[in-house]
Amino acid sequence: VGLWLTTDASVRKLNTQYRGMRKTTDVLSFPFHDELAPGAAPDVVEDDDEDMLNLGDIVISMPYVARKASKPEAVESGPGVAAAMAPLDCVDGRVQLLVIHGLCHLLNYDHETEDEFEEMAAVEDRLLAARAEWLAERRGEGVGR
């Protein structure tokens, strides 16, 4: 996975070029294997074909993330990264959640329809739970302590 932490201008340019939306956003994802079903991996990977191992690129606008972190919203109820991120005032935490969201897009999950949103949000929620467990273990709050 490639991760590019960049500017509003760079994200706006990419968003315009690839999505036809002339505005900045927090995260864009560019999957290398968009022909695969959501969550699927390539069946066969040649030893000499490193590109087959690359899921794609995630691009995050750091100024956009910082602006959102400076104005956290009320806690939203609901699934997925958007609800989990709304109350965060920490740029680092928001970036971590955007990487989860971007990774789901690299795995060809989307949220254009209600069904797609529910499927993607369920995957995000599993990744958010794994992140929370990992953070608790780092703080010494893991199970059995």
How does pLDDT run across 111-120, given as a tens digit for each residue?
A: 999 999 999 9
Q: What is the pLDDT of residues 73-97, one digit of tens each?
A: 876 678 889 999 989 999 999 999 9
CA distances from 142 to 84, 125, 133, 134, 135 (A): 21, 19, 7, 8, 9
Average pLDDT of 12-29?
A: 96
Check if the beta carbon of residue 56 is closer than 8 Å to that of residue 1. yes
Structure tokens at 96: 């971590």
Instruction: Give pLDDT, residue 145.
Output: 45
Q: What is the pLDDT of residues 91-111, one digit of tens each?
A: 999 999 999 999 999 999 999
CA-CA distance, 54 to 32, in Å (whole number)?
Answer: 7
Does the pTM surpass 0.85? The reply is yes
CA-CA distance, 81 to 123, in Å (whole number)?
Answer: 10
**DSSP-derived secondary structure letter, 2:** E
Angle in degrees, CA 23, 25, 27, rounded to 5: 140
* Position 19, amino acid: R
